[in-house]
Protein backbone atom coordinates (compact mmCIF):
# COMPACT_ATOMS: atom_id res chain seq x y z
CA UNK A 1 0.00 0.00 0.00
CA UNK A 2 1.02 3.63 -0.51
CA UNK A 3 1.81 6.11 2.25
CA UNK A 4 3.14 9.66 2.37
CA UNK A 5 5.08 12.03 4.64
CA UNK A 6 2.06 13.88 5.98
CA UNK A 7 1.15 11.05 8.32
CA UNK A 8 4.41 11.62 10.20
CA UNK A 9 4.33 15.40 10.66
CA UNK A 10 0.65 16.26 11.20
CA UNK A 11 1.24 16.35 14.95
CA UNK A 12 4.00 18.94 14.59
CA UNK A 13 1.74 21.20 12.53
CA UNK A 14 -0.89 21.02 15.28
CA UNK A 15 1.70 21.82 17.95
CA UNK A 16 3.01 24.78 15.90
CA UNK A 17 -0.49 26.20 15.46
CA UNK A 18 -1.20 25.66 19.16
CA UNK A 19 1.95 27.62 20.10
CA UNK A 20 0.93 30.48 17.77
CA UNK A 21 -2.63 30.61 19.17
CA UNK A 22 -1.42 30.42 22.78
CA UNK A 23 1.07 33.21 22.10
CA UNK A 24 -1.65 35.45 20.62
CA UNK A 25 -3.85 34.85 23.66
CA UNK A 26 -1.08 35.37 26.25
CA UNK A 27 0.50 38.39 24.52
CA UNK A 28 -2.77 40.24 24.09
CA UNK A 29 -2.72 39.93 20.32
CA UNK A 30 -6.32 38.68 20.29
CA UNK A 31 -7.39 41.75 22.27
CA UNK A 32 -5.64 44.03 19.81
CA UNK A 33 -7.38 42.37 16.85
CA UNK A 34 -10.76 42.66 18.59
CA UNK A 35 -10.05 46.33 19.29
CA UNK A 36 -9.36 46.96 15.59
CA UNK A 37 -12.74 45.39 14.78
CA UNK A 38 -14.71 47.13 17.54
CA UNK A 39 -13.40 50.68 17.06
CA UNK A 40 -14.99 51.28 13.60
CA UNK A 41 -18.24 49.88 15.04
CA UNK A 42 -17.97 52.44 17.88
CA UNK A 43 -18.07 49.74 20.53
CA UNK A 44 -16.35 51.33 23.53
CA UNK A 45 -16.34 51.50 27.32
CA UNK A 46 -18.72 53.94 29.02
CA UNK A 47 -16.75 54.34 32.26
CA UNK A 48 -14.15 57.13 31.94
CA UNK A 49 -11.51 55.43 34.14
CA UNK A 50 -11.81 52.12 32.29
CA UNK A 51 -11.74 53.96 28.96
CA UNK A 52 -8.48 55.69 29.97
CA UNK A 53 -7.04 52.35 31.08
CA UNK A 54 -8.00 50.84 27.71
CA UNK A 55 -6.27 53.74 25.94
CA UNK A 56 -3.12 53.12 27.99
CA UNK A 57 -3.15 49.44 27.01
CA UNK A 58 -3.60 50.41 23.36
CA UNK A 59 -0.63 52.80 23.57
CA UNK A 60 1.56 50.01 24.96
CA UNK A 61 0.40 47.56 22.29
CA UNK A 62 1.10 50.09 19.53
CA UNK A 63 4.54 50.80 21.01
CA UNK A 64 5.24 47.08 20.84
CA UNK A 65 3.81 46.77 17.33
CA UNK A 66 5.66 49.76 15.85
CA UNK A 67 8.97 49.60 17.72
CA UNK A 68 9.18 46.18 19.40
CA UNK A 69 9.28 47.82 22.85
CA UNK A 70 7.31 45.59 25.22
CA UNK A 71 6.87 47.06 28.70
CA UNK A 72 4.33 46.69 31.51
CA UNK A 73 3.29 50.32 31.90
CA UNK A 74 3.76 53.87 30.60
CA UNK A 75 6.30 54.65 33.31
CA UNK A 76 8.59 51.91 31.99
CA UNK A 77 7.96 53.11 28.43
CA UNK A 78 9.22 56.59 29.34
CA UNK A 79 12.24 55.07 31.10
CA UNK A 80 13.05 53.04 27.96
CA UNK A 81 12.91 56.24 25.91
CA UNK A 82 15.26 57.90 28.40
CA UNK A 83 17.68 54.93 28.35
CA UNK A 84 17.76 54.99 24.53
CA UNK A 85 18.46 58.73 24.50
CA UNK A 86 21.34 58.20 26.94
CA UNK A 87 22.77 55.38 24.80
CA UNK A 88 22.27 52.75 27.49
CA UNK A 89 19.85 50.80 25.30
CA UNK A 90 19.99 50.43 21.53
CA UNK A 91 16.87 51.14 19.48
CA UNK A 92 18.00 48.47 16.97
CA UNK A 93 17.88 45.77 19.66
CA UNK A 94 14.11 46.13 19.99
CA UNK A 95 13.60 44.98 16.40
CA UNK A 96 14.15 41.43 17.67
CA UNK A 97 12.04 41.80 20.82
CA UNK A 98 8.49 42.20 19.45
CA UNK A 99 7.67 38.64 20.49
CA UNK A 100 9.70 38.69 23.72
CA UNK A 101 8.21 39.04 27.23
CA UNK A 102 8.03 42.54 28.78
CA UNK A 103 11.35 43.95 29.93
CA UNK A 104 11.84 45.40 33.39
CA UNK A 105 10.09 42.73 35.50
CA UNK A 106 13.12 40.92 36.92
CA UNK A 107 16.65 39.93 35.95
CA UNK A 108 17.02 36.55 34.30
CA UNK A 109 19.31 34.15 36.11
CA UNK A 110 20.46 30.57 35.55
CA UNK A 111 16.99 29.06 36.05
CA UNK A 112 15.39 31.22 33.34
CA UNK A 113 18.31 30.61 30.98
CA UNK A 114 18.05 26.83 31.50
CA UNK A 115 14.29 26.93 30.82
CA UNK A 116 14.76 28.92 27.62
CA UNK A 117 17.58 26.65 26.41
CA UNK A 118 15.26 23.66 26.96
CA UNK A 119 12.57 25.43 24.92
CA UNK A 120 15.01 26.07 22.05
CA UNK A 121 16.21 22.45 22.20
CA UNK A 122 12.57 21.39 21.82
CA UNK A 123 12.41 23.30 18.52
CA UNK A 124 15.69 21.72 17.37
CA UNK A 125 14.25 18.31 18.24
CA UNK A 126 11.18 19.14 16.12
CA UNK A 127 13.44 19.95 13.17
CA UNK A 128 15.23 16.61 13.58
CA UNK A 129 11.88 14.78 13.75
CA UNK A 130 10.72 16.31 10.46
CA UNK A 131 14.12 15.70 8.81
CA UNK A 132 13.98 12.08 9.94
CA UNK A 133 10.49 11.75 8.42
CA UNK A 134 11.60 13.27 5.11
CA UNK A 135 14.90 11.44 4.59
CA UNK A 136 13.26 8.15 3.56
CA UNK A 137 11.14 9.83 0.88
CA UNK A 138 11.96 11.23 -2.55
CA UNK A 139 10.30 13.92 -4.62
CA UNK A 140 8.35 12.52 -7.62
CA UNK A 141 8.21 9.08 -5.98
CA UNK A 142 5.44 7.26 -4.13
CA UNK A 143 6.25 5.25 -1.03
CA UNK A 144 5.08 1.62 -1.26
CA UNK A 145 4.98 -0.71 1.77
CA UNK A 146 4.24 -4.38 2.34
CA UNK A 147 4.80 -5.48 5.92
CA UNK A 148 8.19 -4.19 7.07
CA UNK A 149 9.55 -3.87 3.53
CA UNK A 150 9.52 -0.64 1.58
CA UNK A 151 10.23 0.64 -1.95
CA UNK A 152 9.75 3.92 -3.82
CA UNK A 153 8.01 4.11 -7.19
CA UNK A 154 8.15 6.89 -9.79
CA UNK A 155 6.68 6.98 -13.30
CA UNK A 156 9.83 5.30 -14.70
CA UNK A 157 11.77 3.75 -11.79
CA UNK A 158 11.43 1.54 -8.74
CA UNK A 159 13.94 2.46 -6.03
CA UNK A 160 15.13 0.07 -3.32
CA UNK A 161 16.27 2.16 -0.28
CA UNK A 162 18.02 -0.84 1.26
CA UNK A 163 20.38 -1.51 -1.67
CA UNK A 164 20.22 2.01 -3.16
CA UNK A 165 19.29 0.37 -6.48
CA UNK A 166 17.12 1.83 -9.25
CA UNK A 167 15.13 -0.50 -11.51
CA UNK A 168 13.63 0.60 -14.83
CA UNK A 169 10.77 -1.15 -16.66
CA UNK A 170 13.12 -3.54 -18.51
CA UNK A 171 14.87 -4.58 -15.28
CA UNK A 172 11.51 -4.99 -13.56
CA UNK A 173 10.38 -7.48 -16.20
CA UNK A 174 13.50 -9.56 -15.57
CA UNK A 175 12.85 -9.96 -11.83
CA UNK A 176 12.08 -13.44 -10.53
CA UNK A 177 10.50 -14.47 -7.23
CA UNK A 178 13.44 -16.80 -6.55
CA UNK A 179 16.15 -14.15 -6.59
CA UNK A 180 14.42 -10.87 -5.67
CA UNK A 181 12.56 -9.42 -2.69
CA UNK A 182 8.77 -9.56 -2.77
CA UNK A 183 8.53 -5.80 -2.19
CA UNK A 184 10.43 -5.09 -5.43
CA UNK A 185 8.26 -7.50 -7.41
CA UNK A 186 5.09 -5.87 -6.00
CA UNK A 187 6.45 -2.37 -6.67
CA UNK A 188 7.44 -3.34 -10.21
CA UNK A 189 3.90 -4.62 -10.70
CA UNK A 190 2.64 -1.09 -9.98
CA UNK A 191 5.18 0.38 -12.40
CA UNK A 192 4.40 -2.05 -15.25
CA UNK A 193 0.62 -2.22 -14.84
CA UNK A 194 -1.56 -1.37 -17.83
CA UNK A 195 -4.66 -0.97 -15.68
CA UNK A 196 -5.82 2.70 -15.88
CA UNK A 197 -7.18 2.67 -12.32
CA UNK A 198 -3.90 1.36 -10.87
CA UNK A 199 -1.89 3.88 -12.90
CA UNK A 200 -4.15 6.66 -11.61
CA UNK A 201 -3.66 5.38 -8.05
CA UNK A 202 0.14 5.53 -8.51
CA UNK A 203 -0.01 9.08 -9.91
CA UNK A 204 -2.25 10.20 -7.05
CA UNK A 205 0.18 8.68 -4.53
CA UNK A 206 3.10 10.52 -6.20
CA UNK A 207 1.18 13.82 -6.15
CA UNK A 208 0.27 13.35 -2.47
CA UNK A 209 3.89 12.58 -1.65
CA UNK A 210 5.11 15.67 -3.55
CA UNK A 211 2.64 17.94 -1.73
CA UNK A 212 3.64 16.48 1.63
CA UNK A 213 7.34 16.69 0.73
CA UNK A 214 7.04 20.42 -0.09
CA UNK A 215 5.02 21.02 3.10
CA UNK A 216 7.68 19.22 5.14
CA UNK A 217 10.46 21.31 3.57
CA UNK A 218 8.53 24.51 4.35
CA UNK A 219 8.01 23.31 7.93
CA UNK A 220 11.75 22.60 8.33
CA UNK A 221 12.67 26.07 7.05
CA UNK A 222 9.99 27.68 9.23
CA UNK A 223 11.13 25.83 12.35
CA UNK A 224 14.76 26.72 11.61
CA UNK A 225 13.88 30.42 11.21
CA UNK A 226 11.82 30.39 14.43
CA UNK A 227 14.60 28.60 16.33
CA UNK A 228 17.26 31.02 15.03
CA UNK A 229 15.04 33.99 15.85
CA UNK A 230 14.35 32.68 19.36
CA UNK A 231 18.05 32.04 20.00
CA UNK A 232 19.18 35.46 18.78
CA UNK A 233 16.15 37.15 20.35
CA UNK A 234 16.80 35.72 23.79
CA UNK A 235 20.47 36.73 23.77
CA UNK A 236 19.39 40.30 22.94
CA UNK A 237 16.47 40.15 25.39
CA UNK A 238 18.68 38.90 28.23
CA UNK A 239 21.14 41.77 27.70
CA UNK A 240 18.49 44.47 27.14
CA UNK A 241 16.31 43.39 30.06
CA UNK A 242 19.18 43.28 32.56
CA UNK A 243 20.56 46.65 31.39
CA UNK A 244 17.10 48.22 31.65
CA UNK A 245 16.53 46.87 35.18
CA UNK A 246 19.90 48.31 36.30
CA UNK A 247 18.98 51.66 34.72
CA UNK A 248 15.49 51.55 36.24
CA UNK A 249 16.86 50.80 39.73
CA UNK A 250 19.39 53.64 39.43
CA UNK A 251 16.65 56.06 38.37
CA UNK A 252 14.45 55.03 41.31
CA UNK A 253 17.33 55.49 43.76
CA UNK A 254 17.93 59.00 42.41
CA UNK A 255 14.41 60.09 43.40
CA UNK A 256 14.30 58.41 46.80
pLDDT at 70: 87
Separation of alpha carbons 39 and 54, rounded Å? 12
pLDDT at 166: 92
For the chain (length 256 residues), average pLDDT per consecutive 10? 56 65 60 65 70 77 82 89 90 81 80 81 83 81 84 92 90 79 88 90 89 82 84 87 90 72
67: closest CA among 29, 25, 37, 95?
95
What is the model's pTM? 0.65
pLDDT at 5: 57
pLDDT at 254: 74
Separation of alpha carbons 38 and 31, rounded Å? 10
Half-sphere CA count of 208, side-chain side, radius 13 A: 16
pLDDT at 153: 93
pLDDT at 158: 93
Domain residue limits, the chain:
2-134+221-254
Half-sphere CA count of 212, side-chain side, radius 13 A: 25
pLDDT at 149: 84
pLDDT at 61: 78
DSSP letter (8 states) at residue 156: S
Distance between the two ends of the chain, CA-based, in angstroms? 76
Amino acid sequence: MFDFIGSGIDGLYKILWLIIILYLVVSGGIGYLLRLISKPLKVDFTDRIIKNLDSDFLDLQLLRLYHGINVLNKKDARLVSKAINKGILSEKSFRFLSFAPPIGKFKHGKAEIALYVAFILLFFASILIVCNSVKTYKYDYASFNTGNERALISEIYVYDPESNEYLNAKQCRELTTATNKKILISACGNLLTKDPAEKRELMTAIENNNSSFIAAMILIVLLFIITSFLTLGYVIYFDTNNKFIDFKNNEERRFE
